[in-house]
Homo-oligomer: A and B are copies of this chain.
Amino acid sequence: MESYKQLFNEYIAMYRPYINKLNALLASYNLTTAQWSIMLLIFREGAKTIGDISLYQNVEKPTTTKLVQKLIDLGYVEIHAGNDKRVKIVQLSEEGTKVYGQMREKIDHFQKDLSEGISEEERLVVAKVLKKISSKL
């Protein structure tokens, strides 16, 4: 099989098993990957509006609205209005920051475990290649 086919085949084959395991970890804090992904974003990049989150995550705004609503219910994020009163700025709550740290540790462990036996160089090649593909999508 051609190398590019192998690449995309392996890419797709890995997705569901990976997400399932990740969801199993997240379940301890009643989180799902889509919700976690938003927490990750606003931890890394700081407070963001619904619209910004949608852009970053490549989803439509209604989807983000619902996920953020869920995170508010869980007490992990809080929103406040900006100067422009239409926008809602979303950031981690104190509780959310705590949960972030605890989850982060579990996930670090999980991901480190999965990357065992893969050289630093290989990891970087994979990251670089996937990023390059993303940039064309």
- Cα(A57)–Cα(B20), bound, Å: 13
When A18-B133, A129-B122, A129-B126 are in contact, do A115 and B10 touch as well, CB less than 8 Å? no
A contact set with B: CB distance below 8 Å: 3-18, 20-21, 37, 57-59, 108, 111-115, 117-118, 120, 122-134, 136-137
**A89 CB, nearest partner CB in chain B, Å:** 23
Known A7-B127, A127-B7; contact A133-B114, beta-carbon cutoff 8 A? yes
**Among B112, B124, B136, B137, contact of A6 (Cβ-Cβ < 8 Å):** B124
Contact A114–B136 (Cβ < 8 Å):
yes
Known: A17-B134, A21-B137, A122-B125. A111 touches B10 (CB 8 A): no
A125-B122, A126-B129 given; A134·B14 CB < 8 A: yes
Contact of A13 among B8, B11, B134 (CB under 8 A): B134
Q: Is the CB of A125 within 8 A of B127?
A: no
- Interface hub of A3, A122, A136 (most chain B Cβ within 10 A): A3
Q: Which B residue sits closest to A112, measured CB to CB?
A: B4
By Cβ-Cβ distance, the 3 closest A-B pairs, closest first, are A17-B137, A10-B130, A3-B123
In Å, the complex CA distance between A10 and B57 comes to 12
Q: How far is the CA of A17 from the CA of B11 in the complex (A)?
A: 13
Task: Given A3-B120, A17-B58, decide whether A114 and B127 contact each other with a Cβ distance below 8 A.
Answer: no
